[in-house]
Amino acid sequence: MASTRRSTRVPFLPGNSFTDPSKKRFHKSQALQFTMGGAVRVVDDSKPKIGGEPTTASIASARARAGTSAALYPTSGAGNGEALPAWVAFDRQVLAFDGYFMEGVTEARHEAYRVRPVKVFFYLADDTLQIVEPKVGNSGLPQGTLVRRHKVPLGEPADGRFYTVGDLNVGMDIVVYAKTFRLTGADGFTRDFLGKLGIEVPVDEGVPADPYMSHRRAVTDGAHSVVGGSASLGTSIDGAVKVRSNLRQFLENDRKVLRFFCIWDDTPSMYGDERLMVLNYYLATDKVEVREQIPQNSGRDPVPQFMKASRLPKIPLGLPPVGSARAEHDPALYYTPADFHIGEVINVYGRPMKIYDMDSFTRSWYSENFGLSAADMAPLPPPNSGRTGVVLEREIPPPTGYGSEADSLACMHSLMPRPPRRDMAKMRANEGKALRFAAQFVDPSRVDRDRRFVVSFHLANDTVSVFEPPVRNSGRLGGKFIERDEAKKPDGSPYTPADFFVGAVVSVRSFRFLLIDADEFALSYMEERPAEFPHSSLPHVIDNVISQLVAGEVPPDSVIAAFSSSAAGRNSVEPAVFQACLAELGIKLGGQELLTLMRSFDPNGEARIQYGLFLDAIGIGQAQG
C-alpha cells in the first residue's frame, strides 16, 4: 500500500491564524489601463498580491529593470525604511537640456540648411520626454512643442526600451522618430542630479550659426550703419544706374501728407461731367495718390481710388524699349511739392486737374518751407458755386388699382413689393377712439329727406365709416351704409380729423353728408385740442363774434337789449333763443361754433345759456349793470 503524505501545516481554523503586523497595505493591484482610448483589463503576474507580497514574476521583473532609470535614482523613503514611488519622490523634477537639430532646405539662395534650437525636458516622475522649440518672431516656421510629453522609444535596435537618464547627457546625439537632436547644454539642477548619480556632465557646447540668420543680421547691421552715418548708400541693380537712398527723407517726413482739392472737367467727352478729386502727396516717398469724391446717388461705382500711390510724371512716357536704361529717378521728370499751388493744372496721365483748395496742414507746410502768405494760398470759388441746379420733384404716379393707395405707394419706393408702413404708436394711442357725428344728405331728394346717418372718423388709422340707424316702417333695413375705409376729399387729399366738425360737408364714395351734431366724446376731444380744431376754440369764436359786431357797428346797448328782452327777467335763455338773439344782431356762426359757445356758457349743463357770461366774454358786461 502506498503511504499517504500528511501535511505539516497548521489547519486554517479560528484560533490558529495570526495577523502579520508588518503588512499595512491590503488593496488590490491595478488591473486596468488605457489603451487606444479605452480601459482594458490587463492580467499581469508581475504585479504584487494583496498586502504587497511580491510574486515570482514581479521578482523576475525587478531583476530585469536593473538597466532602467528607476534603478539609478537615489533611494527615497518616508523615514520608516519604506521606499516612496517615483511619481512621489521626483514630482515636479525635470532635467532640462539645450540642443538643436539641422533641417535641410532645398532651392534656397542664402541657405542650404537651417539650424533650429530646441529645449529637451526629461520628467523624472515617469521617464517622459518633451521637446520644445522656442518661438522666434517673423520666422515663418511652426514653432512650439515639437514632441509632446510621452515615453520616447530608443532608436533601432531598441528592444522595447525607452529613453532614461543614462541616455541623456551634454554632447550626445539622440534620435527621436528619425530626427537627430544634439544636446549642447544643461541647467544647474540637471548637472547636480546627474553628478549624484555618478555621471560626468561635459562643458556646454555652442550652437552652430544659422546661415540665413547670419545673412539677415548682416543686412540689419548694414542698415543701422546707414542710419547712424551721413554717407548715402548706393546700390547697383543689374548694372543699372545707382539710386540714392531716401531713408533720411522717409524718417523725417513719415506720416506727412499734402492734401489738395482738385476738379477734373470732363465735360468735353461724351457723358462727361465735372468730377471732384482729392490729390494726396506723400512727402516720405514723393508719391502721389488721387481719390475721387463720389457724391451720393451719382450712379457711379463706389471705387474712390482713382490712382494708386506712385510717382506722377509731368509728361506721361511710354514703356522704354527692351534693354534700354532710362533715368526715371531724375526729379525733373516727376511732380514735386514746388509744382503744386492753388490754380495750377496738374496733368494726371492726360487728365487735367485744377487745384482750387488745400487743407490746413498743407497751408502751414508751404508757409514754413516756401514762405507763402495767406493771400498766395487763397482758395478759388468751389465748383458749381455759380450754377443754379434744377431740383426735380418726384412725381407720384396714380394708383395702379391693385390693393389700396398705400400699397401702390409702397411699391413705388422699391422694386420688390413691400407692405405699407403703419404708424404703430398712433394706432396704440388711439385704438378704439372715433369721432361720431350725426349727418344727413346734402340737397336730398324727397325720398331721402328724412334719412339720418352716423359718420365715424376713426383716429387710429384715419378711416371713415358710415352707419344708418334702422327706422321702423321706413322700408329700409338700415345698418352699415359705407364700409370703413380711407376717404379722399374732392381734391384727392386724405381727410384729417380737423375736417370733421358740426356744419362741415364731407364726401364719402360720392355721397355728400352734412354733419349736424356730434356726440359728447367728439365735442370734448375737439375742445381739448383747440389748436387742431379752431371751430371748438372759445377764444377763436369770441374773436369772430367781436369782429362781426365791430364790422356791423352794433352798439353795446343793442346787444344787451336783445338778450334782456328775450330773458324775461332771468339771467339765462334757452339755446334756441340764444341763436335767435345772435341772428338778430347779425352774427353768423357755424354749427360747431354755436355748440362751442352754448357749451361754454352753460356751466350747469341745464340747457340754459347764461348770457351774462357771454356779454362779459365779449367785453360789454359792465354796461348791463
- Please state the rounded mean pLDDT for residues 390-415: 76
- 319 touches 243 (CB < 8 A): no
* 1-15, 183-197, 372-386: segment of lowest average pLDDT: 1-15
Rounded average pLDDT over 451-479: 91
Q: How confident is the model at residue 330 (pLDDT cuts 50, 70, 90)?
A: low
Predicted pLDDT of residue 583: 82
Report d(CA 146, CA 131) in Å as an integer: 6
Statement to judge: residues 485 and 453 lie in one domain: yes
Residue 75 has pLDDT above 80, yes or no: no
* pLDDT band per the 50, 70, 90 thresholds, residue 338: very high
Are residues 254 and 180 part of one domain?
A: no
Tell whether 577 and 595 lie within a shared domain: yes
Question: Which of 507, 527, 547 is a domain's end point?
Answer: 527
pLDDT score at 190: 93
Same domain, 494 and 582: no
Residues 184, 143 share a domain? yes
Domain membership of residue 388 (yes or no) is no
Q: Specify whether 444 is located in the same domain as 548.
A: no
Mean local confidence (pLDDT), 557-580: 78
- The pLDDT assigned to 213 comes to 80
- Residue 360: is its pLDDT beyond 60? yes
pLDDT band for position 8 (cuts 50, 70, 90): low
- Out of 527, 553, 571, a domain closes at 527
Pairwise pLDDT comparison (52 vs 241), residue with the higher score = 52
Q: Would you say residue 34 has pLDDT above 80?
A: no
Which has the closest alpha carbon to 259: 334, 359, 130, 405? Answer: 359
The answer on 544 and 514 residing in a single domain is no
Q: Is the pLDDT of residue 482 over 60?
A: yes
Tell me, what's the pLDDT at 236?
39
Identify whether 404 is part of a domain.
no
Residue range 191-200: mean pLDDT, rounded: 91
pLDDT band at 95 (very low <50, low <70, confident <90, very high): very high
At residue 604, the pLDDT reads: 76
Q: Which of 241-245, 264-268, 379-383 holds the top average pLDDT?
A: 264-268
Do both 193 and 265 map to the same domain? no
**End-to-end Cα spacing for the chain:** 166
Percentage, residues of the chain above pLDDT 90 = 35
Q: Which residues of 32-187 form beta strands (DSSP E)?
A: 32-35, 38-41, 94-104, 113-123, 128-133, 144-150, 173-176, 179-186
Lowest mean pLDDT among 208-212, 276-280, 316-320, 540-544: 316-320
- 0.75 exceeded by pTM: no
Domain of residue 607, CATH code: 1.10.238.10
Region 412-418: mean pLDDT is 78
H/E element holding 289? Answer: strand 287-292
Residue 102 lies in a domain: yes
The size of the chain, in residues, is 625
Does residue 288 fall inside a structural domain? yes
Q: Are residues 523 and 551 in the same domain?
A: no
Do both 308 and 349 map to the same domain? yes
In a domain, 24, yes or no: no
Q: Residue 405: is its pLDDT beyond 90?
A: no
Q: CB neighbours of 131 closer than 8 A, spacing ≥ 6? A: 118, 119, 120, 121, 145, 146, 147, 176, 181
> Domain for residue 217, yes or no?
no
Q: What is the average pLDDT across 99-104?
A: 92
When pLDDT is averaged across residues 398-414 and rounded to a whole number, the result is 77
The pLDDT value given to residue 233: 33
Query: Which pLDDT belongs to residue 147?
Result: 93
Could you tell me which residue, 551 or 322, shows the higher pLDDT? 551
Residue 282 in any domain: the answer is yes
Is the model's pLDDT at 91 over the cut of 60? yes
Distances (CA, A) of 558 to 211, 519, 585: 122, 35, 8
pLDDT averaged over every residue in the chain = 81
Name the band, by pLDDT with cuts 50, 70 and 90, for residue 123. Answer: very high
pLDDT of residue 454: 95
Greater pLDDT, 342 or 590:
342
Domain that holds residue 503: 420-527
Confidence class for position 243, pLDDT limits 50, 70, 90: very low
Cα–Cα distance, 92 to 40 (Å, whole number): 29
Predicted confidence at residue 569, as pLDDT, reads: 63
Give the per-residue pLDDT at 100.
Answer: 95
Domain boundary among 494, 527, 560: 527
Report pLDDT for 346. 94
Closest CA to 95 of 138, 51, 125, 137: 125
> Are 364 and 272 members of one domain?
yes
User: Is residue 176 in some structural domain?
Assistant: yes
Nearest to 584 by CA among 612, 613, 548: 548
Give the mean pLDDT of 478-492.
89
Higher pLDDT, 289 or 575: 289
Residue 600, helix vs strand vs coil: helix
| 96: phi then psi, degrees, rounded to nearest 5 | -115, 130
Mean pLDDT of 13-28: 72
Quick one: 478 and 592 in the same domain?
no
Question: Can you tell me whether residue 515 is helix, strand or coil?
Answer: strand
| Domains in the chain, number | 4
Higher confidence at residue 413 or residue 186? 186
Least confident of 118-122, 420-424, 426-430: 420-424
CATH number of the domain to which 291 belongs: 2.30.29.170
Question: Tens digit of pLDDT for each residue in 154-166?
Answer: 876 656 789 999 8
Task: Kindly state the average pLDDT of the residues 427-441.
Answer: 92
pLDDT tier, 249 (very low <50, low <70, confident <90, very high otherwise): confident
